[in-house]
Amino acid sequence: MGLIFWLGGLFSPLAPPSSAQEEREVGEWFPVRTPITSEGVTRLKNAVNRAIDSRGARKLVFQFQFGGASEAGPCVDLANFLLRDIRGRAETYAYVDRPLTGHAVLPALACNYLWLGPEGAIGQVASKAGEEVADKALQLKYIEIAEARGKFPALILKMLYPELVVYQIDAVDGKKFKLDRDQAQRFGIDARYALAADEMHLDPRPVLREQEPGLYRPSDPRTRAFGLWGRVVGSPQEVVELLGLPGSLIQGNPLLLLDQPPKAVRIVVKGEITRGSVETLRRQIKRAVERDKVHAIIFEINAWGGPGSVRIADDLAKEIADLKERGVLTIAFIPATVRGAANYLAFGCSRIVMGPQGELGDCQALLFDRTGRPLPERDVAVYRDSLRNLAARQGYNPVLIEGLLRPGMEIVKVQSRPDPEQRAARPTIAFLERAVAEKEAKRWEILGVVKAKDRLMAFDADRALEYGIAWEKVDPPTLENVARLEGIEPRNILGTRAGFLDEVAAFLAHPIVTVFLVIVFFTCLILEFKAPGIGVPGVIAAVCIVLVVWANSWLAGELNSLAILLLLLGAVLLGIELFILPGFGVCGISGILLILLGLSLVVVQRWPETPGEYLDLGKNVGIFAVGLLVSLVAAFILARYLPNVPYANRLMLPPPEEDTDAGAPLPPAQSPELLGAVGVAVTPLHPAGKARFGDRFVDVVAEGSFVEPGTSIQVIEIDGVRVVVKAL
């Protein structure tokens, strides 16, 4: 089955386009944090006007986030703006998902629609009875807002004065809420909002008693019937789905709050996502934000990545998502194709803009290997969870994102059935797994299939727009058109490219180059051990290992201390085996294994956590082990033929020769008469040890296999201090 997927590239038949393409909704999301200040109101007004006039936004969502009490003046100013200045230009929605108290409730009430989250609440302008919170003018402003938005003034005034008692009466034209006449007179409230004499026979019932705070929340059965909010919405992501807006809208647009023309930078992401390319991108982002002080980053993405790239891409995507906290807008511009792990980078951005031929979401490389066999489900589950969490954080529908990495999942487009208890401007459009939609058939009506079962899925530009994944489609797909969407002048777009050191490190860290350097390292190391002193092979070996460690550490942005320690320990053990202990045993083998493991960790830069990462580590160990074997063969060939190669033979130190012109030769360390002499091994020759020739004891090195004590031996070569023997 997996082979069919891989060979055929069978993508899901997405929901067919409607016969009449609906005009896309254009909106904007504005976080409103308290305390509300005059400066903040001015910036918000400018941002709203720019969104309406420049972008044509017609649905404005204000998410009120309580962080402290606000002064009345700025709140009244903002409420007047929402009530009067925007009238007829756009619809305004207030979303409150946490308790909102104090005068900040006034601008929330001034919006056309007030929606609460399940944990939301609104009211309690006065924190305790008797607190002076409103003069006559402010009281009248609360009443004006209440009447303009169809709320009962008695309920709104209860927010200001906890001492009030609110009564409910069932009149001929419906239920009403009124105040006690004496209390209304005491607080200077117009008698129209108090119980009239002819209403006393309607059996008024107190629903909010004296000293009870005027705080209204969906979790209170009494206040649900007061009609203060339109509906209860579970999350910001559901809000944008209700309004037919892209999910990325909830990230907000920091450019709207600027008092200067925005400055942007273009960063190109192309080819395979690797550790080196990710670290280069990370440095480019840092330079753009910290040195160039840009307000927006446009990532032009035409890239792909396999399973080995998931973790590094996810880490970078989270860093990109965090840039919004620094007031930087991030835009993923997709003129062509984004596949595999590169999807993480796209979903980490605040906006996704696509060209007519753009395609996003193809995760085939994270589901099947190159032979078409499915990857282990436990690995795919890790990829799926990380991508889903990232996309949900950015406001994208998590069901659609999960479907990218679940071939057996069937996704349908649904519409909410009418609910008499909810007052909404339009029915909810959502995307659900078919099993969920059928289980909740009373709530949802299935409109069509988005992803068929056992089919792969990706989003072209039109479907990405329809499903709220893409922010916009630009045609022609140019950087200038993308910039103009956000009011960025093309002349204010900076270019960026990788630095010289980034390019050098990327070249050296390429797997083929890294393996080549390791082979040269081992070859030169073996030659250096064979020749006395420290010569050219030793220098070359040191340079190669330094280049491998530096390049991989530079691109990883960190120095893997464990890998360095393993390399050093391995080198020490290997040196002990060669120069101190006789023979070649545990220390030598352990040293080689530690060097191989250290080199592998330098390449992968972290200890593995998943089975796939352990497999990658083992693969690297195997590659470097093969490199060691190649080095042994190369060292043997070089040691045999290099002395006969002109100029190249200068790389090795030749044995001393007699020079009659230079005077008397230096005596050899061992007498030439030993050549051919027969003796007995006194110690084990593994391969070095001691032997006795008559009454003379000599340090010797055995050729070939190890020699046990008492074995007859013969000297076959004398090279300076080195006496080579063989067993008889």
2-12+258-410+452-495: CATH topology = 2-enoyl-CoA Hydratase; Chain A, domain 1 (3.90.226)
Paired strand residues for 510: none
Task: Quote the CA–CA distance of 432 and 400 in Å, as a whole number.
Answer: 8
Could you check whether 2-12+258-410+452-495 and 27-243 share the same CATH topology? yes
Mean pLDDT of 189-208: 86
Beta strands in 600-721 (DSSP E): 678-681, 688-693, 696-702, 712-719
Q: Which residues pair with 692 in a beta bridge?
A: 680, 697
Q: What distance in Å separates the CA atoms of residue 36 and residue 25, rounded to the nearest whole number? A: 29
User: Does pLDDT of 667 surpass 60?
Assistant: no
Please, what's the b/e burial string for 440-464 (b: 16 or more CB within 10 A of its CB; e: otherwise)?
eeeebeeeebbbbeebbbbbbbebb
Mean pLDDT is lowest, of 114-118, 120-124, 632-636, for 632-636
User: CB atoms < 10 A from the CB of 199, how many?
Assistant: 15
Q: What is the mean pLDDT of the chain?
A: 80
The answer to whether residue 26 scores a pLDDT higher than 70 is: yes
Listed ranges 234-238, 254-258, 314-318, 454-458; the one with the highest mean pLDDT: 314-318
216, pLDDT greater than 50? yes
Please report, rounded to a whole number, the percentage of residues in the chain having pLDDT higher than 70: 75
Predicted confidence at residue 575, as pLDDT, reads 66
User: To which residue do tokens 């107190």 refer?
Assistant: 206
Nearest to 402 by CA among 413, 412, 391: 391
What is the rounded distance in angstroms from the CA atom of residue 521 to the CA atom of residue 532?
Answer: 18
Number of other residues whose CB lies within 10 A of the CB of residue 316: 21
Three-state secondary structure call for residue 8: helix
Query: What is the reported pLDDT for 656?
Result: 47
C-alpha–C-alpha distance, residues 519 and 631, integer Å: 5
pLDDT at position 552 over 70: no
Residue 599 pLDDT: 66
Domain ranges of the chain: 2-12+258-410+452-495, 27-243, 504-651, 668-727
Query: What stretch of H or E contains 231?
Result: strand 231-232
Domain made up of 27-243: CATH architecture: Alpha-Beta Complex (3.90)
pTM of this prediction?
0.63
Q: Which CATH architecture has domain 668-727?
A: Beta Barrel (2.40)
721 — pLDDT class (breaks 50, 70, 90) = low
Q: Which amino acid is at 564?
A: I
CA distance 691 to 709: 9
User: What pLDDT score was predicted for residue 559?
Assistant: 46
**Residue 574 pLDDT class (50, 70, 90 cuts):** low
Say what the pLDDT of residue 230 is. Answer: 87
Angle formed at CA 295 by CA 342 and CA 56, multiple of 5 degrees: 90
